[in-house]
C-alpha cells in the first residue's frame, strides 16, 4: 500500500510506535477529514475557556500550551512539534482550560471532534490508542513538574533540550546532532519557570561546558551521552521505543 504521506500519516506513524492497529483501523485514521490553516507567530489558535469542536494537529512550526497566573506571568506547560496532536484531549474535554499559541509561524490541520469520536466509538482499539497518546502527554507533563520543581536552571534547560531532541528525532538519537528549535529565550524562560535574562546566562553555561551550541534557532548537541548525564534525562517517559500495546477487544 502506498500511503500518501500527508499530515495524518505523520501522526499515525507516531501512534503506531505505541499501539498496535489493524490496516482497517489505520486507514480509518488516515481518512479523517482535515482542514489546514496557517497561524502567524504569537497568535492563539485556541483561547482560554473556548469550547472547541475540533482537534489541532501540528504540521509545521512550533506550538505551546500556555497557562497563566494573574499578573500576566505566563507559563508554557507543553510544547507541540510537527506530528503532535496538540489538543487531542479536547475530544473528551472540549472546553479549553489553557490556551494554545503558535510560537513561530505554524501550520495546523483541524480535525472535527465528531469524526474522531466516530472512529473511536467504532474501533475500540483506536479509542485506546488515542487515550494512550493523551496519557503519554500527561507523563511528559509530569516530567515537566519535576523539571521545574526540582532542578537548577542549567540542568533544567539541558533536560528540555534532551526531551526536544528525543522527540524531534522520534527516539533515534545520535551522539552528535542538531535540530531546529525556533523558540526565543523568552519562550524558554516561560517553559522553565525562569526569566529570559537568566536563560541567557544559563545558555552560556551549557555552551561553556561544551554540551550544546546555539545559533539562530538551531540547537546543536555536541555529546548526547554527556548531555543526558548532565541533564539527569531518561527518555522512557516519552515512550517512543516501546513494544506497542496490544489492542483491547470486547470479550
Partner DNA sequence: CGATGGCTTGAGAGGCTTCAATGCCGGTGG
Partner DNA sequence: CCACCGGCATTGAAGCCTCTCAAGCCATCG
Nearest residue (CB) to DNA, 35 versus 204: 204
Hey, how many other C-beta atoms are within 10 angstroms of the C-beta on 74? 16
Q: Does 51 bind its own copies (CB under 8 A)?
A: no
Nearest distance, CB of residue 65 and DNA, angstroms: 18
Quick one: 198 exposed, middle or buried, by C-beta within 10 A (0-12, 13-18, 19+)? middle
Residue 203 contact among its own copies, DNA, none, beta carbon within 5 to 8 Å by kind: DNA
Residue with cell 554540551: 211
Closest distance to DNA from the beta carbon of 182 (Å):
9
Q: Which of 36, 43, 146, 196 binds DNA (CB under 7 A)?
A: 196
Q: How far apart are CA 129 and CA 110, in angstroms?
A: 19
Specify the residue, 181 or 224, whose C-beta has the smaller distance to DNA. Answer: 181
The region of 6-14, 37-45, 100-108, 143-151 touching its own copies under the rule CB under 8 A is: 143-151
- Is 197 one of the binding residues for DNA (CB under 7 A)? yes
Q: Calculate the alpha carbon distances from 75 to 16, 49, 162 in Å.
A: 31, 17, 20
Which candidate, 130, 165, 172, places its Cα nearest to that of 157?
Answer: 165
Residue among 134, 209, 214, 240 that touches its own copies (CB under 8 A): 134
Q: Which is nearer to its own copies, 134 or 222 (CB)?
A: 134
115 to 154: interface string for DNA, x by CB under 7 A = -------------------------------------xxx
101 part of the interface to its own copies, by CB under 8 A: no
Q: Which three cell numbers stand for residue 7?
A: 499530515
Taking CB under 8 A as the criterion, the residue among 9, 112, 124, 244 binding its own copies is 124
Q: Per CB under 8 A, does 9 bind its own copies?
A: no
Interacting residue with its own copies among 54, 80, 89, 187 (CB under 8 A): 89
Q: Which phi and psi angles does 223 have, rounded to 5°?
A: -155, 105
Tell me the closest approach of the beta carbon of residue 5 to its own copies, in angstroms.
27
68 scored as a contact of DNA (CB under 7 A): no
Q: Work out whether 179 is an interface residue with its own copies (CB under 8 A).
A: no
The stretches of 75-180 forming alpha helices (DSSP H) are 113-122, 124-150, 153-168
Q: Is 105 in the site for DNA (CB under 7 A)?
A: no
Q: Taking every pair of C-alpha atoms in the chain, what is the biggest distance, in angstroms?
A: 59
What sign for the dihedral angle of Cα 178, 183, 189, 192?
negative
- The 3-state DSSP class for residue 106 equals strand
Answer whether 219's CB lies under 8 Å from 181's CB: yes
Closer to its own copies by CB, 59 or 84: give it. 84
Type and span of the H or E element at 15 = helix 7-16
Check: CB of residue 65 under 8 Å from CB of residue 77: yes
Residues of the shown chain interacting with DNA in the complex, contacts defined by CB under 7 A:
152-154, 184-186, 193-198, 200-204
Amino acid at each position: 500500500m502506498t500511503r500518501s504521506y500527508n499530515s495524518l500519516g505523520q501522526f499515525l506513524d507516531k501512534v503506531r510506535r505505541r499501539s498496535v492497529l489493524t490496516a482497517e483501523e489505520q486507514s480509518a485514521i488516515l481518512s479523517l477529514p482535515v482542514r489546514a490553516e496557517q497561524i502567524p507567530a504569537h497568535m492563539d489558535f485556541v483561547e482560554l475557556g473556548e469550547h472547541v469542536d475540533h482537534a489541532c494537529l501540528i504540521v509545521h512550526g512550533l506550538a505551546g500550551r500556555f497557562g497563566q497566573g494573574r499578573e500576566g506571568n505566563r507559563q508554557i506547560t507543553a510544547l507541540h512539534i510537527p506530528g503532535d496532536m496538540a489538543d487531542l484531549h479536547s475530544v473528551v474535554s472540549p472546553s479549553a482550560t489553557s490556551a494554545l499559541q503558535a510560537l513561530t509561524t505554524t501550520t495546523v490541520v483541524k480535525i472535527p471532534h465528531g469524526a474522531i469520536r466516530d472512529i473511536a466509538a467504532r474501533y475500540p482499539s483506536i479509542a485506546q490508542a488515542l487515550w494512550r497518546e493523551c496519557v503519554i502527554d500527561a507523563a511528559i507533563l509530569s516530567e515537566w513538574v519535576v523539571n521545574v520543581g526540582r532542578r537548577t536552571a542549567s540542568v533544567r534547560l539541558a533536560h528540555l533540550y534532551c526531551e526536544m531532541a528525543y522527540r524531534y528525532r522520534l527516539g533515534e538519537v545520535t551522539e552528535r546532532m542538531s535540530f531546529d528549535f525556533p523558540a526565543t529565550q523568552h519562550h524558554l524562560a516561560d517553559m522553565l519557570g525562569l526569566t529570559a535574562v537568566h536563560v541567557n546566562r544559563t545558555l552560556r553555561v551549557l555552551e561553556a561546558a561544551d554540551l550544546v551550541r546555539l545559533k539562530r534557532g538551531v540547537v546543536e548537541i555536541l555529546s548526547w551521552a554527556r548531555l543526558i548525564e548532565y541533564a539527569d534525562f531518561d527518555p522512557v517517559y516519552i515512550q517512543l521505543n516501546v513494544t506497542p500495546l496490544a489492542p483491547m477487544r470486547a470479550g
